Structure 1
Amino acid sequence: MIYLQLFALLVFAISSHRWIFLKSITTSIIFVLFAFWYISNMFTGYGVTDAVYYQLFNTAQGTSLDDIYSKLQVGLIFIIIILATLACSVYLKYKKKDLLPLKKTTFIWSLILISIIPSQFISNIYNSTKDTFFNDGNAAAVKKEYKKATAQLDKKYNYVFIYAESLENTFQSLDGTNYTPGLSALANKYMQFTNIRQPPIRGIGWTMAGLVNTQCGIPLIMEQGNSGASFVNFLGKADCVASWFGTQGYQTEFIRGSQKEFAGGDKFLEQHGWQSQHDKNYFAENLLATPDDVSGWGIHDDLLLKHAWDEFSRMSQQKQPFLLSLLTVNTHSPEGTFLKACENHVPKNEQYPMLASVACSDYLLTDFINRITNSPWFENTIVVLVSDHLMMANSASPLLDKVSQERRNRFIIIKKDLKPTVNNTEGTLLDVWPTVLDLSGAEVKELGFGSSLLDSKKGKLIKNYELGRTKDFFAYASQLWNYPSLNDGIKQTNNGIAIGSEEYSLPVYSAIEANGQLKALWFEAFAMNAQKVIQKDNDLFYANLCRNMNINEDGICSYIISRNSIKQVRVNSTGVASEKIINKKPILYQSDILGLSSATYTATSGAMINDRGVNLGYGFNIIKLGSTHEGISSDIDTVVNYSTCVSTTIPEDEITEFLQQQRGPVIFASNDSAVCADTAPVEKLADILHAPELSTLKFRQQVIGIYKSGHSEIMKGIPDLPFDMFIDTKNYKLITLCEAFMDCH
């Protein structure tokens, strides 16, 4: 229908030379909007979403050319149509000709235009624009949608819940090959869900999020996705499935190959119903693993699954019902790990190493599940397998990119006497546990924002995503962190700072509501993100140990920064020790300020200016701003990286030539560490940049500087600590944190 309407609009726009410029320009605008929606829909499958706007205003680096080629072709077709329409209108107006010998063509054109305005693509663009730019989300609007598990569990099955790292459903049919034949056979024998989507929205798409999505039925809303370790209370107001199982008399145990502390996973599990956790350290402490059994991501899956079987056997012989969960690691990006246990069972893949790891994981998981189904305990056991998220960039990405719209998460339920079932109901990982409990006969069909897919009703999150109404869900999920108000009191603790009843590690920063209420909390890369946090004229709260800011005082230095003043607050173990107000405009509210954050490899780092950001590579980085005819522009043009910890030499002539070609100053910064065992590369950089201080850098000591007119000005941080610096790009001045807060002594 819409295609006929657009065609008619185009025909009647140029059918008469009267008002032809107005009609053709308006028609062209409609075609531009439709093209925007159509091409966006090719990327997302849901038209225009917040992910589209994110990509428009951020880098598209890493996007597959194969993936965008067809979109460019479609865009070219629309451009030709629009240009032809405008050219035709100019010709007809100049010649005063009419294409159609009809009366009232302008009136007919107006009616067609009015009929198009309520169309899906117009509505989608309007709602997505409003949701992205003019709506912070209304938690109250979805309060009734959030459900807690309160029912009693009459039939107490034992549950084995497997998180298969990145093992998405797509691998059972990729480039004409099934790389997970074992799991596919199990899925065909029991119950499989083939439409578990991962829409490009906040709160889903990585391991910690996958745990929260499934267990709590909510997106994991935090500004820095793996900063959960900085919270003492992890989602303190959330109700999650393991806690409910605890009320039903269940034992709960979680086994993972990685360190449980990563991303605050230990806090999340401990505070939400898991009575015991077996992680990488547990294996080492109990002599269950040797160094050969460990990869960079953790304990190898063959050993992890052996331990999981031992735990399943032990717990099955006890009278108490149990929930046993495990998380694999060997299919982690970028290439995975192929294990000796898979040799002679799974062929290796030299071209795409990840696919060999996928096939290896399939072999090991299938064997583990078959041991359960062949055991005497299967009668009362339900096995669930899900992928915690779609696979991130990896060696097989060229193949996955070709089927980007068809990618789905894996979700299988294995239960004795279950009839083979294929469920194609559209849902997300939020809907997994409600579906499992519904199948178990429990009176629990909803958990958090998740709902059972057995009744063939689309999951709540995916349904509201299509309608452009996700921000209300994000706002509610954010409230489950129980963010405090500065009016609730503030004091120093042994490990950080307490604000009201909540406690956090340092540094910490946040936008502030008018009543002192903190919004979403940030912990890393302050300089890089500061101006983003204070957009929309928000006030800003920042706190750090004074000594970490080169302020020679004990206690915490905290600040409340507004557009025209800074309130300096000193905090100790008893509370606020002193306050001072500086009535000057902070530099954070100025334009053309570059924020630069360097850190070790485990923390966020990068540079940001005027909402344009870049990442920093490990080692040493040289940053060049763009140039215009008038001079230096406030936009990052180039980042050149030298891995000075990996290479023993650097291209001296190349760097010298690069510096000589620049019209203005350049900025340089370390990241992770510029110096390792061999100090020769950094010493050579010290000579090239005329910065002798570089030669005294210590391991993982960050440095930020400016090279101009043959000389360098630098600032060095404290070894092993993040380092934040601002740079005024109008006069190329380094601005330390204490200077930004007008608090240097």
Structure 2
Amino acid sequence: MKRIIKAIITVLTYILLATTALVLATAIYIRQSFPEQGIDEMLFYLTSGLEGTSNDVFITGIQQGIIPFLIILLFLILPLIKFKKRENRIEISIRKKKLNIHIFPLRRLRLIYALFTLAIALFACYKMLGVDEYLDQLNAESTFIEDHYVSGTDVSITFPEEKRSLIILYLESMENSFIDRESGGGWPYTVIPELEQIARENINFSNTGKIGGPLPTQGTDWTVASLFSTTSGLPLKIPVGQNRYRYSDDFMPGAYALGDILKQEGYQLSAMFGSNAKFGGRKNYYKSHGDYKVFDVNTAIHEGKMTASEKVWWGFDDSDLFKWAKEEISTLAQGEQPFNFTFLTANTHFTDGYLEEGAGNKYDTQYENVYAYSSKQVQEFVTWLKGQDFYENTTLVILGDHLSMQGGGFFPAHLNKEYQRTIYNAFLNTTTKPVQPKNRTFSLLDMYPTILASIGVNIEGDRLGLGTNLFSDKQTLFEQYGRKHVNDQLAVNSRFYNQNILQDDYLELLKQAEEEQVKEKKEE
């Protein structure tokens, strides 16, 4: 019986130690690979599901994490190893002299030791990933969103007599860093010359006098959050335990977004993703706000455009995305109604991106070559679009969805320390001219009213959501209050946001809390 108990204790000990090593290795990998990623983003994807994630992301994580895991595990097991006949002494010979090092006899207390190390690892992970700061933010409260939120239902939004069609092209992780320093970027040379030219020849809203863009903002700095914020003027704030958007028919039911406005104005609405549109709740968002027709990798397979065995990267590559986008746009343009077509590239997603066949190898890193090819693909699409009959009455908005999350010191190795990374933007064929496109301080939240203004829409007060129309001379919230203050306020809890934007989820959470309180009182 004693042997069985000892065996069980030993097995539990090594399971706990392996768990400890896994926790520490994972935390180290996340901090090194995603230094800019916040705990809110990690929790969002963990609670909304990872369906549709590229296998390459998991494979890369395992490859980069396996060595730290093994090293940590070996270090944790070392004190339990019985050396020679005395388990509490290590004999080391140095130049024929024996040195005895006595260690604590941990083998007898191995289960306590394993539990203690796991507790230490969890605490280290708690601090390393910023969970403590995140919880502090949840416990704090601000009325900033309530004080500055402008709902599209409360102001006059007037479309021109002849409504323009709108194409929004989101470029995965596209930032201005890849443009050379003389032009406003951060690289010693230009990796994306075509995109640089597009920004230079069209409207580029910038934080400097050169090519620039919006600054990173709380609650907007990952794909789903970016898609939401640029079309609603709101950050994506999901309190823990409230994210059911992978399954729910509603995604932020209280938000009044771009799709809601365009649908009311009679637009045909369509969105295309080269991955599984359910990832992060993207499909639910576009269906909930505008009832978009959504095309993704599953649609492509269902319609016979590709087979399941032909999946690459996150679904299908950007060459197929642009090809099928052209087909969909051409179909929409044949209708009598104006249209909004939104699509998102994927090749430039971390880690290292997906390099298609036919792409060049001009640069030393695969990631640079992926960006260079993406730039060429966008230029080819723009050239095609300009050659279409319907282009005269169509506006194209090109936006990076957020800054790249490529880790491993990639960006510090190329950028000067003082360089401020910004997100790419370009507005083509607009009917409106900006008062001051350069030397602005703004965020992705400002894209919502700015996109509407780009197709000639007049917005009473030039404000929607928390965003400001950049075509106007009205100050953005960043310009009015400073970027740090705004981000600090957006990071903390907002009762107004929970009650008016999240709506049902928040009320349900309150109901559950009340039921638990009643239950506790009965038990007392």
Where on the TM-score scale, by shorter chain, does this alignment land: which range? 0.5 to 0.7
The residue identity in structure 2 corresponding to 1:161 is I
- Residue of structure 2 equivalent to 1:161: 168
How has the CA–CA distance of structure 1 residues 292 and 368 changed in structure 2, closer, same or farther, with 3 Å as cutoff? farther
SS of 1:191's equivalent in the other structure is coil
Output the CA distance in 2 between the equivalents of 1:160 and 1:209. Answer: 19
- Residue of structure 2 equivalent to 1:193: 205
The residue identity in structure 2 corresponding to 1:451 is T
Output the CA distance in 2 between the equivalents of 1:394 and 1:190. Answer: 31
- Residue of structure 2 equivalent to 1:441: 456
Output the CA distance in 2 between the equivalents of 1:355 and 1:365. Answer: 16
- Residue of structure 2 equivalent to 1:136: 141
Output the CA distance in 2 between the equivalents of 1:287 and 1:376. Answer: 29
How has the CA–CA distance of structure 1 residues 472 and 138 changed in structure 2, closer, same or farther, with 3 Å as cutoff? farther
Matches within 5 A, 1:212-223: 212-223=228-239
Query: What is the CA distance between 1:332 and its match in structure 2?
Result: 0.6
Question: 1 or 2, which has the higher strand percentage?
Answer: 1
Checking the alignment, whether the CA contact within 8 Å between 1:260 and 1:279 is kept in structure 2 is yes
How has the CA–CA distance of structure 1 residues 330 and 236 changed in structure 2, closer, same or farther, with 3 Å as cutoff? same
Query: What is the CA distance between 1:171 and its match in structure 2?
Result: 1.4
- Residue of structure 1 equivalent to 2:498: 478
Question: 1 or 2, which has the higher helix percentage?
Answer: 2
Output the CA distance in 1 between the equivalents of 2:192 and 2:465. Answer: 31
- Residue of structure 1 equivalent to 2:300: 283
Of 402, 427, 432, 2:442 maps to 427
The residue identity in structure 2 corresponding to 1:482 is Q
Query: What is the CA distance between 1:257 and its match in structure 2?
Result: 0.8
Checking the alignment, whether the CA contact within 8 Å between 2:432 and 2:453 is kept in structure 1 is no
The residue identity in structure 2 corresponding to 1:424 is N
The residue identity in structure 2 corresponding to 1:175 is W
- Residue of structure 2 equivalent to 1:210: 226
Query: What is the CA distance between 1:223 and its match in structure 2?
Result: 3.4
Residue 331 (1) aligns with residue 344 (2): no
How has the CA–CA distance of structure 1 residues 418 and 347 changed in structure 2, closer, same or farther, with 3 Å as cutoff? farther
SS of 1:162's equivalent in the other structure is strand
Output the CA distance in 1 between the equivalents of 2:289 and 2:466. Answer: 17
**Number of aligned pairs?**
377
Query: What is the CA distance between 1:200 and its match in structure 2?
Result: 5.4
Q: What whole-Å deviation, never above 9, does each CA across 1:696-745 have from its counterpart, x for those lacking one?
A: xxxxxxxxxxxxxxxxxxxxxxxxxxxxxxxxxxxxxxxxxxxxxxxxxx
Of 399, 413, 418, 1:399 maps to 413
- Residue of structure 1 equivalent to 2:254: 237
Query: What is the CA distance between 1:143 and its match in structure 2?
Result: 5.7
Output the CA distance in 2 between the equivalents of 1:228 and 1:207. Answer: 15
How has the CA–CA distance of structure 1 residues 282 and 465 changed in structure 2, closer, same or farther, with 3 Å as cutoff? farther
Output the CA distance in 2 between the equivalents of 1:242 and 1:409. Answer: 23
Query: What is the CA distance between 1:329 and its match in structure 2?
Result: 0.7
Query: What is the CA distance between 1:194 and its match in structure 2?
Result: 2.1
How has the CA–CA distance of structure 1 residues 468 and 422 changed in structure 2, closer, same or farther, with 3 Å as cutoff? closer
Checking the alignment, whether the CA contact within 8 Å between 1:348 and 1:356 is kept in structure 2 is yes
Output the CA distance in 1 between the equivalents of 2:300 and 2:511. Answer: 43
Q: TM-score, normalised by structure 1?
A: 0.46
- Residue of structure 1 equivalent to 2:90: none
Query: What is the CA distance between 1:256 and its match in structure 2?
Result: 0.6
SS of 1:392's equivalent in the other structure is coil
SS of 1:277's equivalent in the other structure is strand
SS of 1:433's equivalent in the other structure is helix
Checking the alignment, whether the CA contact within 8 Å between 2:403 and 2:423 is kept in structure 1 is yes
Q: What whole-Å deviation, never above 9, does each CA across 1:53-105 have from its counterpart, x for those lacking one?
A: xxxxx99943999xxxxxxxxxxxxxxxxxxxxxxxxxxxxxxxxxxxxxxxx
Checking the alignment, whether the CA contact within 8 Å between 1:254 and 1:274 is kept in structure 2 is no
Q: What whole-Å deviation, never above 9, does each CA across 1:217-245 have from its counterpart, x for those lacking one?
A: 10000136986315442101110011101
Q: Percent identity?
A: 24
How has the CA–CA distance of structure 1 residues 434 and 417 changed in structure 2, closer, same or farther, with 3 Å as cutoff? closer
Matches within 5 A, 1:301-380: 301-340=318-357, 342-343=358-359, 346-349=360-363, 351-380=364-393
Matches within 5 A, 1:144-183: 145-148=150-153, 150-154=156-160, 155-173=162-180, 174-183=186-195
SS of 1:386's equivalent in the other structure is strand
Query: What is the CA distance between 1:377 and its match in structure 2?
Result: 1.8
- Residue of structure 1 equivalent to 2:470: 453
Checking the alignment, whether the CA contact within 8 Å between 2:348 and 2:354 is kept in structure 1 is yes
Q: What whole-Å deviation, never above 9, does each CA across 1:247-286 have from its counterpart, x for those lacking one?
A: 1111000011111111121111101003300011001111
Output the CA distance in 2 between the equivalents of 1:143 and 1:466. Answer: 15
Unaligned ranges ≥5, structure 2: 1-26, 36-132, 181-185, 208-212
Query: What is the CA distance between 1:472 and its match in structure 2?
Result: 5.6
Checking the alignment, whether the CA contact within 8 Å between 1:330 and 1:336 is kept in structure 2 is yes
The residue identity in structure 2 corresponding to 1:190 is N
Q: What whole-Å deviation, never above 9, does each CA across 1:466-485 have from its counterpart, x for those lacking one?
A: 36255665614333001457
Query: What is the CA distance between 1:388 and its match in structure 2?
Result: 0.7
Query: What is the CA distance between 1:151 and its match in structure 2?
Result: 1.9
SS of 1:412's equivalent in the other structure is strand
The residue identity in structure 2 corresponding to 1:281 is N
- Residue of structure 1 equivalent to 2:32: 62
RCO greater where, 1 or 2, for CA within 8 Å and sep 6 or more? 2
Output the CA distance in 1 between the equivalents of 2:356 and 2:425. Answer: 24
Output the CA distance in 2 between the equivalents of 1:298 and 1:178. Answer: 29
Checking the alignment, whether the CA contact within 8 Å between 2:352 and 2:406 is kept in structure 1 is no
Output the CA distance in 1 between the equivalents of 2:313 and 2:205. Answer: 32
Output the CA distance in 2 between the equivalents of 1:141 and 1:310. Answer: 42
Output the CA distance in 2 between the equivalents of 1:468 and 1:247. Answer: 35
SS of 1:253's equivalent in the other structure is strand
Using the TM superposition, name which of 472-481 and 461-470 deviates more: 461-470
Output the CA distance in 1 between the equivalents of 2:33 and 2:244. Answer: 26
